[in-house]
Chains A and B, each alone.
Chain A
Amino acid sequence: MATKASRTAARLMLAPAVILLLGWMMVPLTMTVIFSFKRYLPMRGGDLGWVGFENYVRFVNSSAFWPAVQSTLMIVGGVLLITVVLGVLLAILLDQPMWGQGIVRILVIAPFFVMPTVSALVWKNMFMDPVNGLFAHLWRFFGATPVSWLSEASMPSIILIVSWQWLPFATLILLTAIQSLDSEQLEAAEMDGASPLSRFIYITLPHLARAITIVVLIQTIFLLAIFAEIFVTTQGAFGTRTLTYLIFQRVLESQNVGLGSAGGVYAIILANILALFLMRIVGKNLDR
């Protein structure tokens, strides 16, 4: 691609894809921003004109806003903690040579293929149902009173469901990272007198640092937007209303597009703050 002609051809051929992608991103974003400055009530009069920052002020001042931010961060943080810790341990386990390795690995990845709506329904009805759920049976077997998971322990339940979905992803990325660890390094550490735990702390974990930051970054982006799991389980009740869910309620349940759009812009800002913060950490790790 050195000549002028080939460069022009390259630009021409890239153009449709770039324009399409840009449009895909820019049109909804622009519309969200435009709506956020309007009083727009589809069932109650439609477009009622510009209102400046009124929607933004109302969204933040609503009593639901800060709890929503808090529960969003709790879900993201909780899921990240569980998936990374268990992911590292599982990856180490799966890295051990064993019989039926291929099948076991596919089974471990399987939850990732289940649609969020389906997995949340399965968890809700099969495991967490206070009367017929497997957990309820287990509790009764030991003579305990069954827990109404989704109302009494709603936040841990949702974190559990989402972690179950994302653990395979973390495990997979961390497993490939572990496999790239030079075995001579571990042997050298063994000769140097490092115990298995020291070898994990001083050799394996630093080697995984980069993969862990990538897992954290990618998962954060997706976890900020989880919706189906909440929709089919608690419907945002019992303190599980995340920012995404709050926006959904403002737009569809309250039929207030303007207010919801303002929330959408806040969500973009929150995601960007988090992304910036994470990129700093990743950048530090990638420098090496």
Chain B
Amino acid sequence: MGRIVLDQVTKSFGDVTVIPPLDLTIEDGEFAVFVGPSGCGKSTLLRLIAGLEDVTSGAIRIDGQDATDIVPAKRGLAMVFQSYALYPHMSVRKNIAFPLRMAGMDRAEQDRRVDLAASVLNLTDYLERRPGQLSGGQRQRVAIGRAIVREPAAFLFDEPLSNLDAALRMGMRLEISELHKRLETTMIYVTHDQVEAMTMADKIVVLRAGHIEQVGSPLDLYRAPRNLFVAGFIGSPKMNLIAGAEAAKHDAHTIGVRPEHITVSATDGEWSGVVAVSEHLGSDTFFHVHDTGLADTITVRADGEVGFRHGDRIHMTPRADVIHRFDEQGLRIA
């Protein structure tokens, strides 16, 4: 069981307030992702939950029990660090068994659990190696192994994939998602990568400067971003934000249109501009369009076979039903 409740939690370092009063509930078995730009307080929030930092005020409850003043080891949480934090002088087996050894578990049970975790994570052949002899992805799995043998109430991941290369990152993303489906344990995952957030999360928590900007499922956030920050942060490539006369036509201060919700044409359309760069990904093509009179650059996603080039004048039409409207404060107009 791992229902985690943050109640009016704040954190200050000296005079600097990193987390203003914050409320959040993470349900049992949920995969929650904290996402935001660097320095938004997402890692601090995770460390508060882990108990590696003390809260300045407020309470943290794990399964209804006040855990605010409980030491990290007794909270029943396991953490996977960005640097993996493996113990370099111990073999993989000893690394994974370390929390069990500290808990005073007998050797047979330790071995049973380590072997089980190793087989789940494909580490069986590497148990006698040291972390220094493993690749980045294998080290990552050892760190996860060390977390799962404890059978914790919740897993905490602190940007676990940021040290891996792109291909490996995608593989590990799938593995972690799969692990969550299998274990059905609460997971809290911190990242600055919105793709990781969108693909893995049951619930995304978008943070900026310690504030929660929006909480919701990935598709909720995609379909109905509550403000301009979330609108710009979720979705790749970023949503086009257009202010001025064009927005006024829709009774808004700013309108947002996602690149995938614009159709392009060589002949006619609502807007027009000159292609500055076209990125051909094979399946898709992204056009970065200048001289539209709307914004500096408008990004458009088109089919992979659409072949406009640098300097071509193209016409664009937004899909009317998915135009996001925002007021002067940057808040969504329903």
Contact = CB atoms under 8 A, between A and B. Distances in A.
A190 B72 contact: yes
Given A202-B87, A206-B89, A193 B81 contact: no
Interface string A196-216: 001000110011010000000
A239 to B, nearest CB: 41
B130 interface: yes
A44 interface: no
B50 interface: yes
A190 B52 contact: yes
A187 B81 contact: yes
B222 interface: no
Interface residues of A, number: 19
Nearest to A195: B102
A132 to B, nearest CB: 51
A109 interface: no
Contacts of A207: 88-89
B52 A194 contact: no
Interface string A168-187: 00000000000000101101
Contacts of A194: 73, 98, 102
Contact of B102 (A184, A198, A288): A198
B77 interface: yes
A30 to B, nearest CB: 45
B83 A182 contact: yes
A189 B98 contact: yes
A185 B85 contact: yes
Contacts of A182: 83, 85
A interface SS class? helix
Given A188-B79, A191-B50, A288 B73 contact: no
Interface string A235-269: 00000000000000000000000000000000000
B146 interface: yes
B88 A288 contact: yes
A191 B73 contact: yes
Contacts of B88: 207, 288
Given A184-B82, A288-B130, A193 B102 contact: yes
A22 to B, nearest CB: 38
Given A184-B82, A288-B132, A192 B73 contact: yes
B99 interface: yes
B78 interface: yes
A187 B85 contact: yes
A211 to B, nearest CB: 13
Nearest to A186: B85
Nearest to A198: B102
A191 B79 contact: yes
A195 B86 CA distance: 17
B103 interface: yes
Nearest to B152: A191
A193 B152 CA distance: 12
Interface string B23-52: 000000000000000000000000000101
Nearest to A194: B102
Contact of B146 (A190, A192, A198): A192
B266 to A, nearest CB: 55
B85 A188 contact: yes
Nearest to B149: A192
Given A190-B73, A191-B72, A184 B146 contact: no
A288 B79 CA distance: 26
A193 B130 contact: no
A62 B74 CA distance: 66
A192 B105 CA distance: 13
Contacts of A198: 102
Nearest to A203: B87
A192 B148 CA distance: 11
Contacts of A193: 73-74, 99, 102-103
B102 A192 contact: yes
Interface string B65-82: 000000111100111011
A233 B77 CA distance: 60
Interface in B116-174: 130, 132, 146, 150
Interface of B: 50, 52, 71-74, 77-79, 81-83, 85-90, 98-99, 102-103, 130, 132, 146, 150
11 contacts: A185-B85, A188-B85, A188-B146, A190-B72, A191-B72, A191-B99, A192-B102, A195-B102, A198-B102, A202-B98, A206-B87
Top 5 A-B residue pairs of the complex, sorted by shortest distance between their CB atoms: A193-B73, A192-B99, A188-B85, A184-B85, A206-B89
